[in-house]
Structure 1
Amino acid sequence: MFRPLPFFIGLRYTRAKRRNHFISFISAISMGGLVLGVMALIVVLSVMNGFDRELRQRILGMVPHATITAARGELTGWQDIQKTVESIDGIEASAPFIEGQGMVTSNGQVKGMMLYGIDPKLEKTVSILPDHMTAGSLEGLESGSFDIVLGEILARSLGVSVGDKVTVVLPDAAVNPAGIFPRMKRFRVSGLFAVGADLDASLAYIHIDDAARFMRYKEGVEGLRLRMDDLFAAPRLAWDAAMQLPGQYYINDWTRTQGRLFQAIQMEKTMVGLLLTLIVVVAAFNIVSTLVMVVTDKQADIAILRTFGAKPGAIMGIFMVQGSVIGVIGTIVGTLLGILLALNVSAAVEFLEMILGVTFLDPGVYFISDLPSQLLWSDVVMIASGSLLLSFIATLYPSWRAAKTQPAEALRYE
């Protein structure tokens, strides 16, 4: 079978046992560096993708994709507005809400919170809250019962559980014959939820009718929560919905309330990726040093090939093939190991925890108990392509130096 001369000799040099074992050692180090760098990049980016996915599912499952509120006062006739909004393509569902800031106190403990009045039947269409109830149920919130659902961390800090009483205090003042007092009301804890992050320490839910009475809404609600098919279309769809409604409305979306968090995650992913890319760059520099030493070691061979009529381009191709083989093998092995580890990173962490006797992700501290991983093939292709490109570029200078070898100079002392 016909094989080009540079390809044949380059592979022969790669397979042959060198007289200089130090060169072989440097070649192995170069290949190992590529394997380690490519594997680390794939695993770390997969883990960061997993964290990003978990945050999106948990936080944006609780936080509204978008909201529509009245420009002034209460949002009245919200049922008609809901029908108009849900007729827009891209908006999956909507639900009314009443929102207020306040404090909750029990057993001598006082905590700040966001209090939401919701319709339990409609809330499950726009929120993942019903799927993360750890005690009681969202349907247990009934009009007039003045029950409350708390996050697990908030309930733990107050020392309460299902069936206990808590006092909710609003910043509005109420005037009575005894003087001026903040508005407060006793509620019974009917359920607990745990979705992760800081939400479990800052959110509480009551029935929307109880919220209207407590916060003195006369005949309307504060606004509508919207759930979109596509998260990134939320700003445009919320604006389209407001434009189709008569009157003036305020619109808000998750890119304003939570956008900075996800921008920070994306920036962190980019910076970590760039730092880990340095491992691949160092391995590519090792290829340069390896080939420079090989060229020096093979001066006589290069001179003989040149006297037999080999052109400078053929000499250059020999060493480009030899360096590229190191890059290809290192990239392939690193990619396969990275994919394997990224798909089984949770099992690997559990094994390390069992061997070392430590807990890396304590559920009491972090909002997850295992290491999430989401392998994106676009990342794999980008990393493998970048590694191959760096390996190829690393072969150019040593190969060019080999092609410039003068036969007479190289054979003078032979």
Structure 2
Amino acid sequence: MIFSLFERSIAYRYLRSARQEGFVSVIAGFSFVGIALGVATLIIVMSVMNGFRQELFDRITGMRGHLLVQGIDKPITNYQEATQMILQIPGVKSVYPLIDRQAIVMFHSQARGIAIQGLTQDDLYQKTLVSTNIKYGTLAGFEGDKILVGARLAEQLHLKVGDRLLIMVPEGTATAFGTLPKQKSFQVQGIFEVGMHDYDKNILFMPLELAQSLFKLTGQVSHIEIFISHPETAPYLAETLNQVLEKTWPGLLQAVDWQHSDAQIFHAVQVERNVMFLILTLIIVIAAFNIISSLIMLVKDKTRDIAILRTMGASRGSLMRIFLLTGSTIGTVGTLVGVVLGLGFALNIERIRQVLQGLIGTELFSAEIYFLSQLPARVDPTEVIYIVLMALILSFLATVYPAWRAARLDPVEGLRF
């Protein structure tokens, strides 16, 4: 739709604040602020939810793999042969045999439940989420009785590199009085921090051979971790892999993809994301209703002006375009301001969080509650475009009825009353 110079000048005149229609301008200002805040809030919240989901995915799959092969009712005895076979499947990047068991760690009269993962030094080097996030110590010499602990666990137990801690496992020695738990002392080789509270607090790494000896799994592993090139294809690859495993070792092994093993977490994040989108969209809807209110009041206030314009030759279509342009300008400018505010906030949200925490002295993003130690944000350009289009469409629709009312006004009645 092309607006003439006459229509643009009248619309701009109605947008300017004047003393006699000051209240109308106040409502229009609230409409502008409402749309800007609604768009900005939607962009910020959706970016944080996207970032949270992506960070959660990267850390969970970085620690557990995109696929897990596990034994059915017993450990995997033929893991070396299975590893070589899995590596031949197209799309598989790397495969790590490991032991994943529960134990209790004790240090200076303190005890904690822990998940122990046994990996070879070479495989742990390839697991970049851990190997690139060694906070203290080193991976070099990861053998013998050396172990790696998470930063949160080290903080709770007051551990430092070189300390020795006691690990107790249920696989012990049978006696006349029952099975006595097995205990052994280990030296802390390094402390890692992957940025996910649950992992930094509850996972401990030790050499694969040491874990096999500790849990009485000589020549066996509990899982085989698989990393693939395209994580979104994990469910299809799991089906293919299960067919191969069933043919080769029927009833012994099964593959599970990350979408099934952590389905509850990702489903909860997705549901929360959708609910937040619907709730925050109401801000823009309310602002659109404010546009309707302000334009209807403007039409009532400008009844005499509209009647004069009609008697001077202005068509109904021209009057309708004037009020469409007036309302759409509020929505368009508000949307653009909201996009700038939202992107600026989303791209610097961690810095803003740190500043606010320093000012009020309260932790705003607890790692114990939200799993991650930093507030993530990931701007999705497609999502931003959808938000902008939604705001512009709602703003335009909000102007249709008041503009139609202005165009249908009878000039005789307008001048008479």
TM-score, scaled to structure 2: 0.89
Match of 2:345 among 321, 341, 345: 341
Structure 2 match to 1:399:
403
Structure 1 match to 2:212:
212
Q: How far apart, CA to CA, are the structure 2 residues paired with 1:84 and 1:336?
A: 52
Residue 87 of structure 1 and its aligned partner are, at CA, apart by 2.2
CA contact (8 A) 2:241 2:255 kept: no
The C-alpha deviation readout for 1:111-144, integer Å capped at 9, x for no partner, is 11111111120233345111122222334331xx
Structure 2 match to 1:240:
240
CA contact (8 A) 2:99 2:221 kept: yes
CA contact (8 A) 1:134 1:194 kept: yes
Q: How far apart, CA to CA, are the structure 2 residues paired with 1:68 and 1:367?
A: 26
Residue 387 of structure 1 and its aligned partner are, at CA, apart by 0.9
Range moving further from structure 2, 76-85 or 35-44: 76-85
1:10 and 2:11 equivalent? yes
CA contact (8 A) 1:95 1:126 kept: no
Q: How far apart, CA to CA, are the structure 2 residues paired with 1:367 and 1:131?
A: 19
Paired residue type of 1:325 = T
Structure 1 match to 2:64:
63
CA contact (8 A) 1:66 1:252 kept: yes
Residue 326 of structure 1 and its aligned partner are, at CA, apart by 0.9
Q: Could you say if the C-alpha distance between residues 358 and 173 of structure 1 is closer, same or farther in structure 2, counting changes exceeding 3 Å?
A: closer
Residue 261 of structure 1 and its aligned partner are, at CA, apart by 1.2
Structure 2 match to 1:117:
118
Structure 2 match to 1:202:
202
Q: Could you say if the C-alpha distance between residues 237 and 197 of structure 1 is closer, same or farther in structure 2, counting changes exceeding 3 Å?
A: same
Structure 1 match to 2:377:
373
Structure 1 match to 2:279:
275
Residue 77 of structure 1 and its aligned partner are, at CA, apart by 3.7
1:411 partner SS: helix
CA contact (8 A) 1:93 1:126 kept: no
Q: Could you say if the C-alpha distance between residues 89 and 31 of structure 1 is closer, same or farther in structure 2, counting changes exceeding 3 Å?
A: same
Paired residue type of 2:148 = V
1:128 partner SS: helix
How many corresponding residue pairs? 411
1:204 partner SS: strand
Paired residue type of 1:149 = L
1:314 and 2:318 equivalent? yes
Paired residue type of 1:247 = W
Structure 2 match to 1:28:
29
Residue 354 of structure 1 and its aligned partner are, at CA, apart by 4.6
Residue 65 of structure 1 and its aligned partner are, at CA, apart by 1.6
Alignment of 1:294-305 (within 5 A): 294-305=298-309
Q: How far apart, CA to CA, are the structure 1 residues paired with 2:3 and 2:294?
A: 29
Paired residue type of 1:242 = N
Residue 321 of structure 1 and its aligned partner are, at CA, apart by 1.3
1:186 and 2:171 equivalent? no
1:266 and 2:266 equivalent? no
CA contact (8 A) 1:38 1:387 kept: yes
Q: How far apart, CA to CA, are the structure 2 residues paired with 1:88 and 1:261?
A: 28
Q: How far apart, CA to CA, are the structure 1 residues paired with 2:201 and 2:127?
A: 21
Paired residue type of 1:275 = I
Q: Could you say if the C-alpha distance between residues 18 and 312 of structure 1 is closer, same or farther in structure 2, counting changes exceeding 3 Å?
A: farther
1:135 partner SS: strand
Q: How far apart, CA to CA, are the structure 2 residues paired with 1:353 and 1:390?
A: 36
Residue 92 of structure 1 and its aligned partner are, at CA, apart by 0.9
CA contact (8 A) 2:197 2:367 kept: no
Q: How far apart, CA to CA, are the structure 1 residues paired with 2:113 and 2:373?
A: 26
Q: Could you say if the C-alpha distance between residues 321 and 366 of structure 1 is closer, same or farther in structure 2, counting changes exceeding 3 Å?
A: closer
Residue 93 of structure 1 and its aligned partner are, at CA, apart by 0.3
The C-alpha deviation readout for 1:216-237, integer Å capped at 9, x for no partner, is 2243322311012222222222
Q: How far apart, CA to CA, are the structure 2 residues paired with 1:89 and 1:148?
A: 34
Residue 55 of structure 1 and its aligned partner are, at CA, apart by 1.9
1:250 and 2:254 equivalent? yes
The C-alpha deviation readout for 1:59-85, integer Å capped at 9, x for no partner, is 321122211123364423433322221
Residue 98 of structure 1 and its aligned partner are, at CA, apart by 1.4
Residue 244 of structure 1 and its aligned partner are, at CA, apart by 2.8
Q: Could you say if the C-alpha distance between residues 82 and 369 of structure 1 is closer, same or farther in structure 2, counting changes exceeding 3 Å?
A: closer
CA contact (8 A) 1:126 1:227 kept: no
The C-alpha deviation readout for 1:390-410, integer Å capped at 9, x for no partner, is 111111221222233222322
Residue 380 of structure 1 and its aligned partner are, at CA, apart by 1.5
Q: How far apart, CA to CA, are the structure 1 residues paired with 2:97 and 2:368?
A: 33
CA contact (8 A) 1:91 1:237 kept: no
CA contact (8 A) 1:107 1:159 kept: no
Match of 1:411 among 399, 409, 415: 415
Residue 43 of structure 1 and its aligned partner are, at CA, apart by 2.0
Q: How far apart, CA to CA, are the structure 2 residues paired with 1:284 and 1:64?
A: 46
Range moving further from structure 2, 19-28 or 281-290: 19-28
Structure 1 match to 2:107:
106
TM-score, scaled to structure 1: 0.89
CA contact (8 A) 1:126 1:226 kept: no
Q: Cα RMSD between the aligned structures? A: 2.7
CA contact (8 A) 1:116 1:204 kept: yes
Range moving further from structure 2, 91-100 or 68-77: 68-77
Q: How far apart, CA to CA, are the structure 2 residues paired with 1:344 and 1:219?
A: 50
